[in-house]
Amino acid sequence: MLIPGFRFAAAMAGIKKAGVWDLALMTADEPVAAAGVFTTNRVKAAPVLITRQRLRSGKAQAILVNAGNANACTGEQGLDAARETTGMAAELLRIPEGLVLPASTGVIGQPLPVAKIKAALPDLVANLSPGALPDVARAIMTTDTRPKTASFKGKIAGKEFTLAGMAKGAGMIHPDLATLLVFVFTDAAATPKVLKTLLRQALPVSFNRITVDGDTSTNDTILLMASGKAGNPAIAEAGPEMAALGEALNQVMGDLARQVVADGEGARHIFRVVVQGATSPKEALNAARTVALSPLVKTAMAGEDVNWGRIMAALGRSGARFDPERVEIAFGELAVVKDGLGLGPEAEAKAQQVIKSGIFNLNINLNAGNFSDYYDTCDYTEDYIRINASYRS
Amino acid sequence: MLIPGFRFAAAMAGIKKAGVWDLALMTADEPVAAAGVFTTNRVKAAPVLITRQRLRSGKAQAILVNAGNANACTGEQGLDAARETTGMAAELLRIPEGLVLPASTGVIGQPLPVAKIKAALPDLVANLSPGALPDVARAIMTTDTRPKTASFKGKIAGKEFTLAGMAKGAGMIHPDLATLLVFVFTDAAATPKVLKTLLRQALPVSFNRITVDGDTSTNDTILLMASGKAGNPAIAEAGPEMAALGEALNQVMGDLARQVVADGEGARHIFRVVVQGATSPKEALNAARTVALSPLVKTAMAGEDVNWGRIMAALGRSGARFDPERVEIAFGELAVVKDGLGLGPEAEAKAQQVIKSGIFNLNINLNAGNFSDYYDTCDYTEDYIRINASYRS
Q: What is the pLDDT of residues A218-261, one digit of tens each?
A: 777 888 999 999 999 999 999 999 999 998 999 888 888 888 88
Question: Could you tell me if residue A80 is inside a domain?
Answer: yes
Contacts of B107 in chain A (CB under 8 A): 309
Question: Which residues on neighbouring strands pair with residue A224, listed in sequence order?
Answer: A35, A184
Do A300 and A206 reside in the same domain of the chain? no
The whole-angstrom distance between A14's CA and the closest CA on chain B is 20
The number of distinct structural domains making up chain A is 2
CB A28 within 8 A of CB A66: no
Do A20 and A122 reside in the same domain of the chain? yes
Q: Which of A179, A211, A221, A377 is catalytic?
A: A179
Predicted pLDDT of residue B278: 96
A303 to B391: CB separation less than 8 angstroms, yes or no: yes
Contacts of B71 in chain A (CB under 8 A): none
Do A251 and A279 reside in the same domain of the chain? no
Predicted pLDDT of residue B44: 87
Task: Establish whether B186 is a catalytic residue.
Answer: no
Do A67 and A92 reside in the same domain of the chain? yes
Last residue of a domain, one of A239, A262, A285: A262
Question: Which residues on neighbouring strands pair with residue B190, listed in sequence order?
Answer: B235
B316 to A42: CB separation less than 8 angstroms, yes or no: yes
Q: Which residue of A has its CA nearest to B111?
A: A342
Question: Could you tell me if residue B265 is inside a domain?
Answer: no
DSSP track, B23-48: EEEEEEEEEEEEEEEE---SS--HHH
Give the rounded percent of residues in chain A with a pLDDT score beyond 70: 95
Question: Which residues on neighbouring strands pair with residue A275, listed in sequence order?
Answer: A364, A373
Predicted pLDDT of residue A182: 81
- Residue range A161-183: mean pLDDT, rounded: 72
A15/A361 Cα distance (integer angstroms): 39
Question: Could you tell me if residue A1 is inside a domain?
Answer: no
Contacts of A294 in chain B (CB under 8 A): 214-215
The whole-angstrom distance between A284's CA and the closest CA on chain B is 15
In 10 A of CB A310, how many CB atoms? 27
Report how many Cβ contacts below 8 Å link chain A to chain B. 211
A385, A387, A390, best to mutate vs chain B, most B CBs in 10 Å: A385
Closest CB to B215: pick one of A296, A324, A392.
A296
pTM here? 0.78
Interface ipTM: 0.71
Cα three-residue angle A175-A205-A56, rounded to 5 degrees: 60
User: Alpha carbon B76 to chain centroid distance?
Assistant: 28
CA distances, A152 to each of A321, A360, B380 (Å): 40, 25, 41
Identify the band that residue A120 occupies on the pLDDT scale cut at 50, 70 and 90: very high
- Cα–Cα nearest to B28, from B45, B55, B53, B4: B4
Question: Could you tell me if residue B366 is inside a domain?
Answer: yes
**Burial of residue A176, with CB atoms counted within 10 A of its CB: 0-12 exposed, 13-18 middle, 19 or more buried:** middle
Predicted pLDDT of residue B174: 63
DSSP track, B349-362: HHHHHHHHTSEEEE
Residue B216 touches partner A, C-beta closer than 8 Å: yes
A94/A92 Cα distance (integer angstroms): 5
Residue B176 touches partner A, C-beta closer than 8 Å: yes
A40, A73, A220, A307, best to mutate vs chain B, most B CBs in 10 Å: A73
Question: Could you tell me if residue A186 is inside a domain?
Answer: yes
Contacts of A73 in chain B (CB under 8 A): 308-309, 312, 324, 337, 340-342
DSSP track, B185-197: EESS-B-HHHHHH
Do A279 and A246 reside in the same domain of the chain? no
Interval A175-223: pLDDT, tens: 543 346 888 889 999 999 999 999 888 888 888 777 776 676 777 788 8
Do B199 and B311 reside in the same domain of the chain? no
CA distances, B83 to each of B47, B88, B114 (Å): 9, 9, 10
Do B186 and B276 reside in the same domain of the chain? no
Residue B341 touches partner A, C-beta closer than 8 Å: yes
* CATH value at residue B369: 3.10.20.340
* CA-based max dimension of chain B: 70
Closest CB to A388: pick one of B108, B172, B299.
B299
Interval A47-87: pLDDT, tens: 999 999 999 999 999 999 999 999 998 999 999 999 999 99
A42 to B324: CB separation less than 8 angstroms, yes or no: yes
A361/A342 Cα distance (integer angstroms): 18
A385 to B380: CB separation less than 8 angstroms, yes or no: yes
A316 to B75: CB separation less than 8 angstroms, yes or no: no
Q: Which strands sit side by side in the sheet containing A328-331, from one edge to the other?
A: A341-342, A334-338, A328-331, A359-365, A270-278, A371-378
Do A138 and A77 reside in the same domain of the chain? yes
Closest CB to B317: pick one of A176, A303, A314.
A176
Interval A334-343: pLDDT, tens: 999 999 999 9
Query: 217-256 in B: which are within 8 Å (CB) of A?
Result: 217-218
* CATH value at residue A220: 3.60.70.12
- Give the residue ranges of DSSP H helices in chain A: 46-54, 75-93, 114-126, 133-139, 192-202, 240-262, 281-293, 295-302, 308-316, 345-356, 382-389
Indicate the angle between helix axes A46-54 and A75-93, nearest 10 degrees.
50
DSSP 8-state class, residue B370: S
**Burial of residue B19, with CB atoms counted within 10 A of its CB: 0-12 exposed, 13-18 middle, 19 or more buried:** exposed
B162/B5 Cα distance (integer angstroms): 11
A108 to B312: CB separation less than 8 angstroms, yes or no: yes
Question: Could you tell me if residue B131 is inside a domain?
Answer: yes
B226/B214 Cα distance (integer angstroms): 32
If DSSP codes are grouped into helix, strand and coil, which group holds residue B240? helix
Question: Could you tell me if residue B127 is inside a domain?
Answer: yes
The whole-angstrom distance between B46's CA and the closest CA on chain A is 12
Do A355 and A225 reside in the same domain of the chain? no
Residue A172 touches partner B, C-beta closer than 8 Å: yes
- Give the residue ranges of DSSP H helices in B106-157: 114-126, 133-139
Q: Can you give the residue range of the structural domain that contains B186?
A: 6-257
Predicted pLDDT of residue B179: 46
If DSSP codes are grouped into helix, strand and coil, which group holds residue B61? strand
B300 to A389: CB separation less than 8 angstroms, yes or no: yes
Q: Is the dihedral of CA B364, B368, B372, B376 positive or negative?
A: negative
Contacts of A213 in chain B (CB under 8 A): 295-296
Question: Could you tell me if residue A231 is inside a domain?
Answer: yes
- Residue range A28-41: mean pLDDT, rounded: 88
B74, B77, B142, B215, best to mutate vs chain A, most A CBs in 10 Å: B215
Do B183 and B291 reside in the same domain of the chain? no
Q: Which residue ranges in chain B fall short of pLDDT 70? A: 170-180, 214-216, 391-393
Q: Which residue of A has its CA nearest to B317?
A: A41
Do B231 and B336 reside in the same domain of the chain? no
Query: 269-288 in B: which are within 8 Å (CB) of A?
Result: none
Contacts of B339 in chain A (CB under 8 A): 75
Closest CB to B392: pick one of A213, A307, A381.
A307
Predicted pLDDT of residue A11: 96
B338/B343 Cα distance (integer angstroms): 7
For A76, half-sphere exposure in the C-beta direction (CA atoms, 13 angstrom radius) is 2
- Cα–Cα nearest to A4, from A242, A163, A234: A163
- Cα–Cα nearest to A63, from A136, A172, A148, A171: A136
A64/A26 Cα distance (integer angstroms): 7
Closest CB to A299: pick one of B108, B339, B385.
B385
CB B53 within 8 A of CB B243: no
Last residue of a domain, one of B257, B284, B304: B257
Predicted pLDDT of residue B138: 92
CA distances, A2 to each of A7, A92, A159, A163, A189 (Å): 9, 24, 16, 9, 16
Closest CB to A393: pick one of B305, B390, B391.
B305
Do B214 and B335 reside in the same domain of the chain? no
Q: Which of B179, B216, B377, B381 is catalytic?
A: B179
Last residue of a domain, one of A262, A296, A317: A262
Predicted pLDDT of residue B222: 82
Residue B320 touches partner A, C-beta closer than 8 Å: yes
